[in-house]
């Protein structure tokens, strides 16, 4: 629970009493969790980070794609794409740091002068760093990199990674008015959408961390806990197992009917639904698993909805075949749900979101399992499989496990559970 001094002083006597009880319960729960979590060990030491050689191969691949698409240079801001190609882990601000990948030749990095030592710390490839002082224009540094790589400023084409901000695009193009500019999505996605064996290994390990953490936390769920208590337990467990930057969502009873939750406070009661959506990363690669539990004895309705969702997951898995359009996965699930009286389409009660999303270094990547998506499934693609059902005023159920495509079809990172009485599932074998 986060309670700063100002909020504490503003609380009335009744609020203070409630806060005291809640804080005491939270402290007790946390203390218990820490003592029981002491047996958890880091399980990620068997996997290694992406190497410099792997990133150099990525640079060569993207440059080949750039040549095929007549893109002279690619500009990327801090984020997953910058990390993917260069290893640089940085953030965005009004001071520009950018990766410049020319169609041929050495990669360039533009950054503020005073940030260069920090940029060097995570830079995992050989790069040409060009610094700019506070009174100077970073866009001039980008222009100079292009000139030094013999890129024509009269007829070349700049590709901007899709998340590059407008002021950056405008600043660059104001100095390169004779050049064309395009979205670099085809080349960046062309590299990132197909995962290597090493990338799949890291994602498998991240999902293993999250599922083992679920196993630890499920046994500790009890009447009187709030979502904050549950999230704290899950965060501690994932961290101790070696997961980085764990994120956790715990939705209780009526809040679980909102796919991403409600601000209203709910306490676990006997028979409560607890929908959790959690993940972490291992060496930069994400997990994403949802589980729905019942504290106490499930009702028939809870069992029926849970089992319907599990069937929806199976249908999605079976539909996800090499060469099939990704959108057909979503269509197959909705057809089944409608036959069960849910929907149609996105209407509630039913499935109000897509069946799944791409995943990798980012929790949400393209391509999606969504109606109308024509991208064909290929080996190396990775997706979440999460066709929940949400019933406003009652509860929601979501089971989510991630899959990766192989030449023989889909494979699970984690195998879903088949029963609400044994609702965890297991870690799939990965070789």
**Local mean pLDDT, 10-residue blocks, the chain (431 residues):** 36 38 45 58 98 98 98 99 98 99 98 98 96 99 98 96 98 98 96 98 99 98 98 98 98 97 93 99 99 98 99 99 99 99 98 99 98 99 99 98 98 98 98 90
Q: Which domain holds residue 295?
A: 195-427
Rounded distance between C-alpha atoms, residue 214 and residue 216, angstroms: 5
Query: Are residues 186 and 216 located together in one domain of the fold?
Result: no
Where a domain ends, among 154, 174, 192? Answer: 192
Query: Are residues 106 and 246 located together in one domain of the fold?
Result: no
What is the per-residue pLDDT across 286-301, written as a single tens digit (0 to 9) for each? 999 999 999 999 999 9
Query: Are residues 306 and 413 located together in one domain of the fold?
Result: yes
Query: Are residues 227 and 351 located together in one domain of the fold?
Result: yes
Assigned domain for 6 exists: no
User: Which CATH number do you get for residue 349?
Assistant: 3.90.230.10
Per-residue pLDDT, 391: 99
Assigned domain for 142 exists: yes
Query: Are residues 113 and 250 located together in one domain of the fold?
Result: no
Nearest-10 Cα torsion for 351, 354, 356, 357:
-150
Task: Work out how many domains the chain is built from and give that number.
Answer: 2
Per-residue pLDDT, 38: 59
Per-residue pLDDT, 263: 87
Query: Are residues 75 and 162 located together in one domain of the fold?
Result: yes
Where a domain ends, among 192, 226, 243? Answer: 192
Q: Does an H or E element contain 229, and which?
A: helix 227-240
Where a domain ends, among 123, 157, 192? Answer: 192
Query: Are residues 399 and 252 located together in one domain of the fold?
Result: yes
Assigned domain for 35 exists: no
Query: Are residues 423 and 348 located together in one domain of the fold?
Result: yes
Query: Are residues 181 and 214 located together in one domain of the fold?
Result: no
Query: Are residues 287 and 161 located together in one domain of the fold?
Result: no
Rounded distance between C-alpha atoms, residue 325 and residue 145, angstroms: 41
Query: Are residues 66 and 143 located together in one domain of the fold?
Result: yes
Assigned domain for 30 exists: no
Per-residue pLDDT, 14: 38
Nearest Cα residue to 162 out of 183, 189, 137, 143 = 183
User: Which CATH number do you get for residue 58?
Assistant: 3.40.350.10
The whole-model pTM stands at: 0.91
Asked if residues 223 and 269 have their Cβ atoms less than 8 Å apart, the reply is yes
Assigned domain for 187 exists: yes
Other C-beta atoms closer than 10 Å to the C-beta of 27 total 11
Assigned domain for 3 exists: no
What is the per-residue pLDDT across 174-224, written as a single tens digit (0 to 9) for each? 999 999 999 999 999 999 999 999 999 999 999 999 999 999 999 999 999
Q: Which residues of 239-265 are buried (b: 16+ CB within 10 A; e: fewer)?
A: bbbbbbebbbbbbbbbbbbbbebeeee
Query: Are residues 180 and 205 located together in one domain of the fold?
Result: no
Assigned domain for 11 exists: no
First CA to last CA distance, the chain? 41
């Amino acid at each position: 629970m986060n309670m700063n001094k100002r909020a504490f002083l503003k609380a009335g006597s009744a609020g203070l009493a409630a806060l005291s009880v809640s804080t005491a319960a939270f402290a007790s729960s946390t203390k218990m969790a820490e003592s029981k979590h002491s047996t958890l060990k880091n399980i990620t030491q068997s996997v290694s980070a992406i190497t410099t050689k792997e990133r150099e191969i990525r640079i060569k691949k993207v440059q080949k794609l750039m040549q095929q698409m007549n893109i002279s240079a690619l500009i990327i801001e801090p984020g997953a794409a910058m990390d993917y190609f260069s290893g640089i882990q940085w953030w965005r601000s009004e001071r520009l740091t950018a990766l410049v990948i020319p169609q041929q030749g050495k990669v360039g990095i533009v950054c503020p002068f005073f940030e260069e030592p920090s940029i060097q710390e995570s830079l995992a490839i050989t790069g040409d760093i060009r610094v700019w002082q506070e009174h100077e224009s970073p866009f001039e540094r980008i222009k100079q990199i292009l000139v030094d790589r013999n890129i024509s400023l009269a007829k070349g084409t700049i590709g901007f990674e899709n998340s590059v901000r407008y002021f950056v695009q405008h600043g660059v193009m104001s100095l390169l008015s004779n050049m064309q500019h395009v979205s670099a999505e085809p080349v960046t996605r062309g590299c990132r959408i197909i995962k290597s064996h090493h990338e799949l290994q890291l994602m498998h390990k991240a999902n293993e961390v999250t599922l083992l953490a679920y196993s630890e936390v499920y046994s500790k769920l009890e009447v009187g806990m709030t979502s904050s208590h549950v999230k704290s337990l899950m965060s501690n467990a994932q961290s101790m197992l070696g997961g980085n930057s764990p994120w956790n969502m715990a939705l209780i009873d009526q809040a679980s009917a909102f796919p991403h939750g409600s601000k209203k406070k709910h306490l676990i009661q006997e028979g409560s639904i607890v929908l959790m959506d959690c993940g972490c990363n291992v060496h930069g690669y994400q997990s994403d698993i949802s589980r729905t539990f019942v504290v106490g004895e499930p009702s028939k309705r809870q069992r029926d909805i849970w089992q319907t969702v599990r069937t929806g997951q199976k249908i999605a898995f079976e539909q996800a075949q090499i060469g099939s359009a990704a959108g057909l996965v979503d269509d197959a699930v909705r057809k089944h749900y409608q036959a069960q009286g849910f929907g149609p389409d996105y209407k509630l009660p039913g499935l109000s979101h897509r069946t799944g999303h791409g995943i990798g270094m980012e929790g949400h990547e393209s391509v999606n399992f969504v109606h109308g998506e024509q991208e064909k499934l290929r080996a190396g693609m990775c997706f979440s499989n999460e066709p929940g059902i949400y019933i406003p005023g009652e509860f929601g159920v979501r089971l989510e496990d991630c899959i990766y495509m192989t030449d023989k079809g889909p494979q699970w990172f984690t195998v879903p559970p088949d029963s609400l009485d044994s609702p965890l599932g297991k870690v799939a074998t990965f070789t």
